[in-house]
């Protein structure tokens, strides 16, 4: 409560920069996804499986947000996709200005999809718009199905919910339909993907959805947005 005013100013400033980012992404016909989850829910592994399927066929880039280490950027770089690591040094979320600086390293006009992997945190990143088109919240079957009830702000701002680690369903107490019901109670329009980034089960629907996003990108003046064009770092 004591820093409410300051916090509001920070959020307002963040929203202003996020709006600049959003305009910039729109001008480049670029679809941007913000991946959000608890630590260890599988954001990076999902991203790796996604790059495995899409890199080479589409022009992708990644912004990696982490409290510390560039481990995730190094994991991503193996897929020959341009990646920028943002290390927050203790900061609990990405902000729009960090993303603005990060994407200055890319030629946005030459990209089809940009993934932003946020800091692993199911609370704070919900408050910080980055200018993305899609907020994708990832929960895993090992976390318990009550997470939407206990962390509602994140589910309120998300459009997509990935339920990861379905390969572990036989070994954990997790009720899939109850998880969906709880999440839809917070955000009725939420779209779900249930998959295992580890085994690949259920991954196809997620990949199809991403390809659809790319196809729906308004084509720019060249025909460079078609599948099959490669761009690697």
Q: Which is nearer to a copy of itself, 11 or 207 (CB)?
A: 11
What's the Rg (C-alpha) of the chain?
Answer: 17
CA distance 189 to 202: 21
64: CB partners within 8 A, 6+ apart: 70, 72, 73, 76, 83, 84, 85, 86, 117
Q: Which is nearer to a copy of itself, 91 or 202 (CB)?
A: 91
Residue 62 Cβ vs a copy of itself, minimum distance, rounded to whole Å: 16
Cβ neighbours around 227 below 10 Å, total: 12
Q: Which tokens sit at 223?
A: 């025909």
Q: Which is nearer to a copy of itself, 72 or 132 (CB)?
A: 72
Residue 40 Cβ vs a copy of itself, minimum distance, rounded to whole Å: 3
Q: Which is nearer to a copy of itself, 13 or 78 (CB)?
A: 13
Residue 9 Cβ vs a copy of itself, minimum distance, rounded to whole Å: 9
Asked whether 142 and 172 are in contact (CB, 8 A), the reply is: yes
- Cα 34 from chain centroid (whole Å): 3
Enumerate binding residues for a copy of itself (CB under 8 A). 2-3, 6-7, 10, 13, 38-41, 66-69, 71-72, 90-92, 119-124, 127, 139-140, 142-144, 146-147, 149-153, 165, 167-168, 171-173, 198
Strands (E), 129-173: 134-140, 160-164
82: CB partners within 8 A, 6+ apart: 61, 62, 105, 106, 232, 233
- Cα 181 from chain centroid (whole Å): 22
Residue 220 Cβ vs a copy of itself, minimum distance, rounded to whole Å: 36
Q: Which is nearer to a copy of itself, 3 or 189 (CB)?
A: 3
Residue 58 Cβ vs a copy of itself, minimum distance, rounded to whole Å: 27
Residue 222 Cβ vs a copy of itself, minimum distance, rounded to whole Å: 39
Q: Which is nearer to a copy of itself, 31 or 196 (CB)?
A: 196
46: nearest Cα among 166, 150, 134, 128: 166
């Amino acid at each position: 409560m004591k820093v409410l005013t300051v916090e509001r100013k920070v959020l307002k400033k963040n929203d202003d920069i996020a709006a600049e980012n959003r305009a910039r992404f729109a001008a480049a016909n670029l679809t941007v996804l913000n991946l959000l989850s608890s630590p260890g829910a599988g954001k990076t592994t999902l991203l790796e499986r996604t790059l495995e399927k899409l890199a080479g066929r589409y022009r992708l880039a990644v912004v990696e947000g982490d409290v510390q280490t560039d481990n995730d950027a190094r994991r991503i770089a193996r897929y020959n996709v341009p990646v920028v690591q943002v290390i927050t040094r203790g900061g609990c979320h990405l902000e729009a200005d960090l993303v603005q600086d990060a994407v200055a390293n890319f030629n946005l006009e030459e990209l089809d999809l940009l993934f932003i992997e946020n800091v692993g945190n199911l609370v704070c990143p919900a408050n910080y718009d980055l200018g993305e088109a899609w907020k994708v919240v990832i929960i895993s079957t090992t976390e318990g199905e009550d997470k939407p009830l206990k962390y509602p702000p994140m589910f309120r701002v998300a459009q997509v919910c990935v339920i990861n680690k379905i390969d572990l369903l036989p070994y954990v107490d997790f009720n899939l339909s109850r998880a969906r019901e709880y999440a839809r109670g917070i955000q009725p329009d939420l779209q779900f993907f249930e998959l295992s980034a580890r085994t690949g089960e259920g991954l196809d629907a997620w990949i199809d959805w991403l390809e659809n996003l790319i196809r729906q990108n308004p084509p720019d003046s060249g025909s460079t947005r078609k599948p099959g064009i490669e761009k690697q770092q």
